[in-house]
Amino acid sequence: MINALRGMKDLTFEESERFVHIVTTAIGIAKKYGYEYIETPILEETKLFKRSVGESSDIVGKEMYQFTDKGENDVCMRPEGTAGVVRAFVQAKLDRQQSAKFKFYYYGPMFRYERPQKGRLREFHQFGCESFGEASVYEDFTMIQLIGDIFKALGIGYNLQINSLGCPTCMPSYRQNLVGFLTECQEELCEDCNRRIDTNPIRVLDCKNEKCQMLLKDSSKLINNLCQSCDDDFKKLVKLLNREEINYEINTNLVRGLDYYNKTAFEFVSNEIGSQSAIAGGGRYDKLVEFLDGKATPAVGFALGIERILELVQMPQIEREGYYLGVMDDGAIDALFPLASRKRTTNKVTVEYEAKKLKAHLKGADKVHARYCAFIGEDEFKNGTIWVKDLVSKEEITLTQEEF
């Protein structure tokens, strides 16, 4: 027997229903906020992610499904969604439209070669939104509202964590101070943190090693070293959250795992899925369009992990809909198909091909959550009629097939 690869998983039955419910719910809410659908390729040039996510990141350094294709191109399976959307934005020259604002949502599979665990697979799915052309912190706040609305609709509880990552004005001096601090305690830091001191010291703040976290308690915090513009924006975001009574926590070590973020960073976390508690995250990335050869464009976005929340979703009660058609005699089956074809123009229809007793057909109708069970028995077959039962009201009626 051939099994799915490690870290790759089939979605079937109840899980697939939950998956569809998550995606359709998220799409519906994103549309209410003015977002339009975008689809980008699963396969991209590797340099796209090296330039956007950052060569020093774990994603690029350790986790990408990267290979040389038959045309000798260096390509990889996309490890995240934002870079591809930005590439499409620049390729379509949308960055050249003055004062234009664009909002896109996407969903689909992403790929990272890492150790599979609960809620984290090598092929996983994300739903995300990207907003281009709006520099105001009000857009950051509105995106947080959007995510909150999605989780509220799905019945998922969460804690919101926020931070500011500064900008090119305030980040360099803070980075220099942090490198000095880390160098002094370098021997006590883990191997990954030692490597990051030279490549991306800010990522040290996000280290999960308990000893490293204890050492970092004494380091200076970026949030206390912001320039006036970044400080004003962060205080405005806090004010908006307070005004709307949205609970949050300021996490000074929240840096996100991707190099392209600046200013606002946020994560939605859950205590119900084990150690991997982040269920959605994002922030502002005002320089990424420029990094990918576009015209400087402010942007903010997020992604939520669908596998992370599958078990947390409260599914709505399934409402009965459509028709189940069955017969008692094999000779009557052909009569069902013209009836089914007409009903399918406006309804969901399930046809049972095997002749069965009425009781068995009623069970079949229950199984597919049909509203009506329509049945041709011996008498109905002779008379050209069909028996119909409303499985909600329990009303029964016999109609001619034309009336049906």
Given 259, 285, 312, which residue is the final one in a domain?
312
Helix, strand or coil for residue 204? helix
CATH of the domain at 90: 3.30.930.10
Residue 153 falls inside a structural domain: yes
Alpha-carbon distance of 199 to 189, in angstroms, equals 15
Full DSSP string of 317-377: PPPP-SEEEEESSGGGHHHHHHHHHHHTTTS-EEE--S---HHHHHHHHHHTT-SEEEEE-
Residue 130: strand pairing partners: 104, 301
Helix ranges restricted to H, 42-167: 46-49, 58, 82-91, 137-154
Q: What's the pLDDT at 56?
A: 63
Domain boundary among 312, 342, 368: 312
pLDDT of the residue at 230: 94
Half-sphere exposure of 247 (CA within 13 A, CB side): 5
352 lies in the same domain as 240: no
How many distinct structural domains can be found in the chain?
2
Task: Say yes or no: 384 and 250 in one domain.
Answer: no
Please give the order of strands across the beta sheet that includes 349-351: 349-351, 323-327, 372-376, 385-390, 396-400
Q: Helix, strand, or coil here: 104?
A: strand
Per-residue pLDDT at 258? 63
Which domain does 386 fall in, by range? 323-400
pLDDT tens sequence across 265-283: 999 999 887 655 899 999 9
Contact present, 64 and 54 (Cβ < 8 Å): no
Q: Considering only CA atoms, which of 392, 365, 369 is closest in space to residue 317?
A: 369
**pLDDT on residue 275:** 59
Tokens linked to 344: 């399918």
Which residues are CB-neighbours of 143 under 8 A, at least 6 positions away?
129, 131, 282, 300, 301, 302
The pLDDT assigned to 218 comes to 79
Residue that terminates a domain, selected from 312, 339, 361: 312
Q: Would you say residue 184 lies in a domain?
A: no
Profile the chain (404 residues) by mean pLDDT over runs of 10 residues: 93 91 98 98 95 76 89 95 97 91 97 82 96 97 98 95 92 85 84 81 80 82 90 96 96 77 93 77 94 94 95 88 96 94 96 96 96 95 96 96 94
Tell me the Ramachandran region of residue 394: left when phi exceeds 0, alpha when psi lies from -120 to 50, beta otherwise: left
Together in a domain, 251 and 163: yes
Residue 35, both tokens? 């977002």
| Helices 228-243 and 137-154, packing angle to 10 deg | 40
pTM (two decimals): 0.88
Domain identity same for 287 and 353: no
pLDDT given at position 116: 79
Which tokens go with 326?
């069955």
d(C-alpha 377, C-alpha 131), whole Å: 59
Do 146 and 269 reside in the same domain of the chain? Answer: yes
